Structure 1
Amino acid sequence: MVARVSKSQFKAKALELFREIEATGEPLIVTDHGQPKLEIRRIAQKPHNPLDRLKGSVLRYDDPFAPVGEGDWEVLK
Structure 2
Amino acid sequence: MGLPVVTVSVTEFKAKCLSLFDDLEDHRVAKIVVTRHGRPVAELNPPERTLSPLFGAHPGSVEVVGDHDLTQPTFDDDTFDAESGILHR
> How does the TM-score come out when normalised to structure 1?
0.55
Aligned length: 48
Q: Pairwise mapping of residues 19-30 of structure 1 onto structure 2 (< 5 A)?
A: 19-24=22-27, 25-30=29-34
- Say which SS state the counterpart of residue 39 (structure 1) adopts: strand
Give the distance between the partners of 1:16 and 1:6, measured in 2 at CA.
Answer: 15
CA distance in 1, matches of 2:6, 2:18: 16
For structure 1, the residue ranges without an aligned partner over 5 or more in a row are 49-77
TM-score, scaled relative to structure 2: 0.48
Q: Deviation of residue 26 (structure 1)?
A: 1.2
**Residue matched to 1:45:** 49
Q: Which has the higher contact order (CA 8 A, sep 6+)?
A: 1
Higher share of residues assigned helix: 1
Unmatched 5+ stretches in structure 2: 53-89
